[in-house]
Structure 1
Amino acid sequence: MTVASILLILVALVFLVAGLTGGSGPLLIISIAASLLAAVALVVGARQTASTRATADRTARRRGGPSTPGAAYGTPVVEPEIPVQHVPPTVGGGWRQPPGPPSGSDLRPRPAPGPGTDEVPLDEPDVQQVRPEDEDLVAQLVTPVHVVQGRPRYHLATCSHLLDRLPSRIPAAEAVELGFTPCARCAPITALLADARPS
């Protein structure tokens, strides 16, 4: 492509000189068209060269050799793979991944999952101590609470445990129904019942 663009530039110069000396408009137009074709040929050639070089670099990286001739003098730079975190959408269908099966017992707080079930992460806050009747009241509220996928607690929006996490808002009743338990750090049941009870 580079040779073709050089030939087109020479043709454009010849037509330009001929058009200027003879005062011919059509020759000048042909000169401009040849210049444009030369520019297109240069761009196409540059893109083909870049594509070929990128393909050679990828192939060399897979084989562990130098990616370009200049790279033979040093260790080739290999870019680390960055994992992409998948966050499922919660719009429309709501939260549909409970941390574990809800417990039907009246023991409050519910015990942490045992062997054979999902483990509670080490940095997870404790469960808020509540009376069964208070949790039953919260199970009827539509006030939103915040949950984090793969975590067993529900929180208030101001909970420090939610920092650097991607929480989802769901109604408190749905959180209880899905088996989430209240966070002891932000005490959501205390706040929810204070808001729900008349003063």
Structure 2
Amino acid sequence: MLYIVLLLVLAALGLLVPALTSAQTHWAWLSVGASGAAAAVLVLDWWLRRRSGPRAAGAAVVDHQVSGGDHPAVSEGAGGETAKSPPDQALLEPAEEDVDAADALVVSELTDEVRVLDERPRYHLAECSWLAARPSLGLPIGEARRLGFTPCAVCRPDASLAARERAGRAEPGQPAEPA
């Protein structure tokens, strides 16, 4: 929509030049009309964004394997402003898992899926209690790490996945892990 406004404003400026250099008033009226159309498009864009809420404000939405859960309901206060409640423990980011070097090395070779939340820095196991019913995306652990996500201290995905991998290696018929 903003590109349309930009084009209309440029058209209005382009029409203003012949209006000023000639004695014909229809150029001036066309310029005023283009300016009015630009204003109308701006008002329409504002109205559509306000009506559909913050999701339409241009935020990119990733549509990969979103798990269940709803966004928390937000009530509107007086004057149409969003009422904000004090931060509670469920909204705070969990700490980063303290990973030892051996676990980090084992995890770096895995392709297991972890869960991430948009705009949050941690990756989690699917059964993480902090993750609960929040909508999350599934990513391979290597990709999550490359994208800058760090492990959650609540579900400790690096330690859990490394322990699972070590247990899988120790099964009969599998070569034992070197000491």
Which category of TM-score, normalised to the shorter sequence, fits these structures?
0.3 to 0.5
Larger of the two Rg values belongs to structure: 1
TM-score under structure 2 length normalisation: 0.45
